[in-house]
Amino acid sequence: MNKYIAEAFGTFWLVLGGCGSAVLAAGFPEVGIGLLGVAFAFGLTVLTMAFAIGHISGCHLNPAITLGLWVGGRFEAKDVIPYIVAQLIGGIIAGGVLAVIASGQAGFDVAASGFAANGYGEHSPGHYNLTSALVTEIVMTMMFLIVIMGATDSRAPQGFAPIAIGLCLTLIHLISIPVTNTSVNPARSTGVAVYVGDWAISQLWLFWVAPIIGAILGALIYKSLLSGRSD
């Protein structure tokens, strides 16, 4: 049970820290952290949690990563569903906490603000279409999974995996925030979409389907082409 609780807490921190930075701090007058700050915030949530709970649960914090690691032979099938449930619980609770905090500002409206939800078309920060969003989320998640599997390989330098993984997520956000607000994580997307409702829920399917496809591709590529192992 400890590993499921750890996944819930870790995903809570990822959504609160990453989406919280976008909602509360990105556009703050004069000292807003902007796109660069939000990208680093997401990377830092994974970096800090990897050191905090990596030894307990592996620090997936992401249903797509859990499924990808299972496909890649790094995770047991019996834990896939419990991990995903725990991640969703943590993400949704974090979204609720963030909504309470943000609503303390006069005039704030969760739905009208966008609440760091992921989207395409008119709901993409750069107004990118569905195809762009789909390709972006698949490729970014694929690369994320490859980095995760490579950094945590027993032959990789030990102790540095959290740094590589955290910086990879930062880079992913630097590339793709303008396209989709960056998901690569169905729990992150769901955690805020449920509070926005409307368009965020109707577009949520893409931010489940694309990251899962990307993670599976990443696992297959690493296992068959990069690892040099037959197991």
Domain with 135 in it: what CATH number? 1.20.1080.10
Identify the band that residue 31 occupies on the pLDDT scale cut at 50, 70 and 90: confident
Asked whether residue 231 is assigned to any structural domain, the reply reads no
- Per-residue pLDDT at 231: 47
Tokens of 178: 């303008």
Domain that holds residue 114: 3-225
Whether the pLDDT of residue 149 is over 50: the answer is yes
What average pLDDT does the segment 19-36 reach?
89
Asked whether residue 110 is assigned to any structural domain, the reply reads yes
Identify the band that residue 111 occupies on the pLDDT scale cut at 50, 70 and 90: confident
What average pLDDT does the segment 62-84 reach?
96
Asked whether residue 131 is assigned to any structural domain, the reply reads yes
Whether the pLDDT of residue 226 is over 60: the answer is yes
Which residue type sits at 223? K
Identify the band that residue 229 occupies on the pLDDT scale cut at 50, 70 and 90: low
DSSP tag of 54: H
Asked whether residue 29 is assigned to any structural domain, the reply reads yes
Backbone angles phi, psi at 120, to 5 degrees: -135, 170
Identify the band that residue 5 occupies on the pLDDT scale cut at 50, 70 and 90: very high
Asked whether residue 230 is assigned to any structural domain, the reply reads no
With a pLDDT cut of 70, the percent of the chain lying above it is 99
Cα 204 to Cα 67, 71, 110, 120, 163: the distances in Å are: 18, 23, 17, 10, 29
Asked whether residue 103 is assigned to any structural domain, the reply reads yes
With a pLDDT cut of 90, the percent of the chain lying above it is 87
Mean pLDDT over the full length of the chain? 94
Which residue, 166, 168, 118, 121, is CA-closest to 142? 168
Identify the band that residue 94 occupies on the pLDDT scale cut at 50, 70 and 90: very high
Number of domains in the chain: 1
What average pLDDT does the segment 79-88 reach?
97
Residue with tokens 């540095």: 160
- Per-residue pLDDT at 50: 96
163-200: per-residue pLDDT in tens? 999 999 999 999 999 999 999 999 999 999 999 999 99
201-222: per-residue pLDDT in tens? 999 999 999 999 999 999 999 9
Burial class for 97, CB neighbours closer than 10 Å (0-12, 13-18, 19+): middle
Asked whether residue 192 is assigned to any structural domain, the reply reads yes
Asked whether residue 166 is assigned to any structural domain, the reply reads yes
Whether the pLDDT of residue 53 is over 80: the answer is yes
What average pLDDT does the segment 73-95 reach?
97
